[in-house]
Amino acid sequence: MENKSKNFILQENNYDFHYKKQKSDIDIRFNRVAFIFFVFFVISVIYSIHLLHLGSRNIGLEKQNQLEVINKLNRANIVDRNGNYIAKTVSSIDIGINPTDVINQKKLLLNLGYIFPDKNYEIIKSNLKKKKFFWFEKKISEENYEKIMMLGDKSIKPEEKITRIYPQKNLFSHIIGQIDDDNFGISGLEKSLDDELRNSEKDIKLTVDKNIQYLIREELIKYNEIFQTLGSGAILMNVNNGEIISLVSLPDFDLNERKNIIDKNFINRVTKGVYEFGSVFKTFTLAAALNENYLDLNTEFKNLKKSIKCGKNIITEYDDEIPSNLTAEEILIRSGNIGSVRIGQLIGLEKICNDPKTDFRIFGKPNTRPYRRMGITLAYDELGSDVESLRIKAKELANQIKVN
């Protein structure tokens, strides 16, 4: 009985030993697995942190590049004398479509048709068949942008851009000019002030006045229609300081259209137009005579004829009622043609005659060959004088001679 009891105890202890040994083996294996898992976990955390760091650096570089692009595309705003925007740099959104991402073409075209009913969808269908990215709409309005993004179509790709807008449209087209697709000025102030506009963050204020510009433009349009002219121009300047208050040239164009203006009718007629000054030049003729003291405003011109020959042309008086005796001031007030020619004749030969150490000779046969006249001018001085200075003086004298 006692031996059975001992055997039982030994068997029980032996079983307990095997159980503990087995449990110990399992614990060791578990600890090994846990350790390996921990090591992998630590490595994963370190790798994830590294990836996040690289990602943040890439994002930072992308943002930096975006800022560099934005700074490159930025141009200072242009305002009139009262602070009204004439040219402004704003952000805009262009909408593109990637055909490879289109899931339901029929549904996409139907939805787009509701938002943009005026689009040519035959062209859109053709672009979709090409399976290449294309621009669907540029400079989209905020309202349409919200509508198109509500469609939730992943083939629609919005892209924000920096763009130049001109709130006054046609009003200052010949003054402001245009820029190209690379943000460089190609005409007008956009070209002449290109460096300043690209490198300044402050608004550039002009002397022009939007309201006065509008009124003058409306008047020109009205009289263009009355007289059926090809174009016209007007400039308003403050004579006290030279500020340009208004400069209008017609026809003009909408700066927002960004078209290549190649028609000669769209030139700036104030600065580039080639035409006779007409009666405007009478003011300069009288001013030159007054400046040289050939006359004063009360100098009287008697027996003014109704026509006079100047070179190949015969100039007539536009109004037969103009008196034959007029003062210099009255000639200007009445815009007299013959009187203005007489004033002009005082300038030229008479000035050369009074210039010391100069001489001139006119050759030709005015009666038999009226259109072939020749002449020379002479300028002289003491021996040893600067020959180049005398040559220049002789050329200046020759430029002052007008032969009728």
- Asked if residues 378 and 391 have their Cβ atoms less than 8 Å apart, the reply is no
Lowest-pLDDT choice from 27-31, 160-164, 222-226, 299-303: 27-31
Q: Sort 177 into a burial class: Cβ within 10 Å, 0-12 / 13-18 / 19+.
A: buried
| Buried b / exposed e along 105-140 (16+ C-beta atoms within 10 A) | eeebeebbeebbeeeeeeebeebbeeeeeeebbeeb
Of 267, 319, 256, nearest to 90 by C-alpha is 256
Is residue 235 very low, low, confident or very high in pLDDT (cuts 50, 70, 90)? very high
With H, G, I as helix, E, B as strand and everything else as coil, classify residue 151: coil
With H, G, I as helix, E, B as strand and everything else as coil, classify residue 293: coil
pLDDT in tens, 353-372: 656 777 766 655 555 555 55
What are the DSSP calls for 113-131, one per residue? HHH-TTS-HHHHHHHHHTT
| Buried b / exposed e along 283-293 (16+ C-beta atoms within 10 A) | eebbeebeeee
Domain parsing of the chain, residue ranges: 1-73, 210-266, 280-399
Check residue 283 and give its pLDDT: 86
**Residue 133: pLDDT above 80?**
yes
Encoding tokens for residue 224? 């263009």
Is residue 39 very low, low, confident or very high in pLDDT (cuts 50, 70, 90)? low
Encoding tokens for residue 138? 């540029």
Position with higher pLDDT, 376 vs 24: 376
Q: If you compute the radius of gyration of the chain from its CA atoms, what whole number of angstroms results?
A: 44
pLDDT in tens, 145-192: 888 889 889 999 998 877 888 999 999 999 998 888 778 888 889 999
Of the chain, the percentage scoring pLDDT greater than 90 comes to: 32
Measured CA distances, 97 to 8, 108, 141, 156 (Å) = 86, 10, 17, 5
Q: What's the pTM?
A: 0.52
* Distance between CA atoms of residues 303 and 306, nearest Å: 10
Position with higher pLDDT, 252 vs 36: 252
pLDDT in tens, 243-281: 999 999 999 989 888 665 566 677 888 888 776 667 877
